[in-house]
Amino acid sequence: MSEWWTYRAEDFLLFSPRVYWRLFELHNAALWPLHLLTLAAGVIIILLIAWRPGTGARWLALILAIVWIFVGWSFLWQRYATINWAAAYIAPAFFVEGVLLIIAFLRDGLAFDRRGPAGWIGYLILGLSLAGAPLLAPLQGRGWASSEVFGIAPDPTVIATLGVLLLARGRLLPVLLPIPVLWCLLSGITLSTMGEPQAWAPYAALGLAAAAWIWTTIRQHGLLPTG
Partner 1 sequence: MRTTRRTFVQAALAATAATVLLPISLRAQAGPPARRPIPSTREEIPIVGLGTWITFNVGDDPVLRDECAGVMAAFFEAGGRMIDSSPMYGSSQPVIGYGLQKLGHPAVLFAAEKVWTSSAAGGPAQIEQSRRFWAVPKFDLVQVHNLLAWKPHLQMLFQMKAAGALRYVGITTSEGRRHDLLEQIMRSEPIDFVQFSYNVVDREAEARLLPLASERGIAVIVNRPFRQGALTQRLQGKPLPEWAAELGASSWAQLMLKFILAHPAVTVAIPATSRVDHVRENLSAAAGPLPDPAMRQRISAHVKAL
**Stretch of 53-61, 81-89, 90-98, 118-126 contacting partner 1, by CB under 8 A:** 81-89
Q: Is 15 in the site for partner 1 (CB under 8 A)?
A: yes
Nearer to partner 1 (CB atom), residue 5 or residue 51: 5
Contact with partner 1 (CB under 8 A): which of 14, 50, 111, 182? 14
Output the DSSP codes for the chain: -TTGGG--GGGG--S-HHHHHHHHHHHHHHHTTHHHHHHHHHHHHHHHHHH-TTTSHHHHHHHHHHHHHHHIIIIIITTGGGT-TTHHHHHHHHHHHHHHHHHHHHHT--B----SHHHHHHHHHHHIIIIIHHHHHHHTTS-GGG---TTTSHHHHHHHHHHHHHT-BSTTHHHHSHHHHHHHHHHHHHHHHTT-GGGHHHHHHHHHHHHHHHHHHHHHTT-S---
Residues 186-215 that bind partner 1 (CB under 8 A): none
Judged by CB under 8 A, the chain residues 97 through 136 that form the site for partner 1 are none
The reply to whether 22 sits near partner 1 by the rule CB under 8 A is: yes
Assess 82 for contact with partner 1 (CB under 8 A).
yes
Does residue 10 belong to the site contacting partner 1 (CB under 8 A)? yes
85 binds partner 1 (CB under 8 A): yes
Does position 26 interact with partner 1 (CB under 8 A)? The reply is yes
Q: Is 84 in the site for partner 1 (CB under 8 A)?
A: yes
Which of 167, 157, 160 lies closest to 120 in space, CA to CA?
167
Only one of the segments 7-15, 126-134, 163-171, 175-183 lies at the binding site for partner 1 (rule: CB under 8 A); that segment is 7-15
Query: How far is the C-alpha of 227 from the C-alpha of 224, rounded, in Å?
Result: 9
First-to-last alpha carbon distance for the chain, in angstroms, is: 54
Q: Which neighbouring-strand residues pair with 99? A: none
Give me the least distance between CB of 184 and partner 1, in Å please.
23
User: Residue 30 Cβ, how far from partner 1 at the closest point, in Å?
Assistant: 11
Piece in contact with partner 1 (CB under 8 A), picked from 8-16, 91-99, 157-165, 207-215: 8-16
35, 58, 79, 169: which one binds partner 1 (CB under 8 A): 79
Work out how close the CB of 180 gets to partner 1 at its nearest, in angstroms, rounded to a whole number. Answer: 25
Based on the shown chain and the rule CB under 8 A, indicate whether residue 3 belongs to the binding site for partner 1.
yes
Q: Where does this chain bind partner 1 (CB under 8 A)?
A: 2-3, 6, 10-11, 13-16, 18-19, 22-23, 26, 79, 82-85
